[in-house]
Amino acid sequence: MNKTYITKSPEETEKLGEKLAKSAKAGDIFCLSGDLGTGKTAFAKGFAKGLEITEHITSPTFTIINEYSGRLKLYHFDVYRLEDEEELYGIGADEYFYGEGVCLIEWAELVKEAIPESAVWINIEKDLEKGENYRKIEVRL
């Protein structure tokens, strides 16, 4: 099932992330894809709020994964710098995928072969012709 949302500000993108996270449960995997600057980190900040996480959320570009505690643990991945799926397995991704928390994976399309089929895919696109902050966000369940 696909659902499409339109947001017109980083705050709206954040609120959508928060809304989706409120129904998240342990073992869920959410995969974020989109070009640089589309709002993946804004979405992630809202997602963390939806999990009742109060810590400051940053993209784990150089650390690959950040862990946060809230209603559920959040395992926030940024796999942009990984070479391939094997590297993802090398950092113990399976333990996170099948653990007690929720995974949010930025740039997941780069390691899609390693992602369990049950994952929710979220694609964020910008359209500058419709405005600097216009985002089309497609959620595939």
Instruction: Give the separation between CA 119 and CA 43, rounded to whole angstroms.
Output: 17
Tokens 């449960």, located at residue: 25
Q: What is the pLDDT of residue 95?
A: 93
User: 116-132 pLDDT, tens per residue?
Assistant: 999 999 999 999 899 89
Mean pLDDT, rounded, for 50-68: 90
CB 79 within 8 A of CB 105: yes
Residue 141: pLDDT band with limits 50, 70, 90? confident
Interhelix angle 10-21/40-50, rounded to 10 degrees, is: 40
Alpha helices in the chain (DSSP H): 10-21, 40-50, 85-90, 93-97
Q: What is the pLDDT of residue 125?
A: 96
User: 61-104 pLDDT, tens per residue?
Assistant: 778 999 999 999 999 999 999 988 899 989 899 999 998 999 99
Beta carbons within 8 Å of 95's beta carbon, 6+ residues apart: none
Residue 55: pLDDT band with limits 50, 70, 90? very high
Beta strands per DSSP E along the chain: 2-7, 29-33, 65-68, 74-78, 102-106, 120-126, 135-140
Q: What is the pLDDT of residue 84?
A: 85
User: 14-43 pLDDT, tens per residue?
Assistant: 999 999 999 999 999 999 999 998 999 999
